[in-house]
Amino acid sequence: MMVEFVEINEENYEAVLKLKVTDEQNQAKFIAPNVRSIADAYLYRKAGDVFPYAVQDGETVVGFVLLDEDEEEKELMIWRMMVDKDHQGKGYGRAIVEKVMKQFEADSRFDVLIADYVKGNDVMGKLLESLGFEYGEFDEENNEYVMKYKS
């Protein structure tokens, strides 16, 4: 499996909007809807530091990732990430995080890679931990664990 990050465009935005998580994940509010993430990226477009991508395996859109670059703090953040319910359990989540890790390690502008996840989303926590992320603070306001990776 080879995942590719493709900028949101006319050809793929509808597929990104149709991506869904499982009913359990949706009810637990583990991730904001992709339309919200695309709107957030639009709001921050002038700063040029938020990047929404369709995650594709060949021609198939299997997920979505929103990256946030903070050059002042020297941080790259996986702001949001999701894999469509029909493609979960196939290694796409790991492949997405590993691809971001490679980008991070190749980019000297950043000292730390951050990812967070909503309390209760233990699958994401275990994935990040297995890839070398370490627990940072717990964000009470957003009910999220913040994890950090340094190369």
pLDDT of 136 higher than 90:
yes
Q: Per-residue pLDDT tens for 79-92?
A: 999 999 999 999 99
Measured CA to CA, the distance from residue 26 to residue 52 in angstroms comes to 20
Mean pLDDT of 104-118: 97
Is the pLDDT score of 141 beyond 90? Answer: yes
**What is the structure's pLDDT at 126?**
97
CATH of segment(s) 3-149: 3.40.630.30
Q: What is the pLDDT of residues 20-77, one digit of tens each?
A: 999 999 888 899 999 999 999 999 999 999 999 999 999 999 999 999 999 999 999 9
Determine the average pLDDT of the residues in 109-130: 96
Average pLDDT, the chain: 96
> Which helix (DSSP H) or strand (DSSP E) does residue 38 occupy?
helix 34-43
3-state secondary structure of 93: helix
151: confidence class by pLDDT, cuts 50, 70, 90: confident
The reported pTM is: 0.94
Which residues are 118's β-sheet partners? 144
CA separation for the pair 131, 32 (Å, rounded): 23
Q: How many degrees, rounded to 5, is the angle at CA 134 between CA 69 and CA 4?
A: 45
Residue 110 has pLDDT above 90, yes or no: yes
Strands (E), the chain: 3-7, 50-57, 60-70, 75-83, 112-118, 134-139, 144-149
Specify the pLDDT at position 28: 82
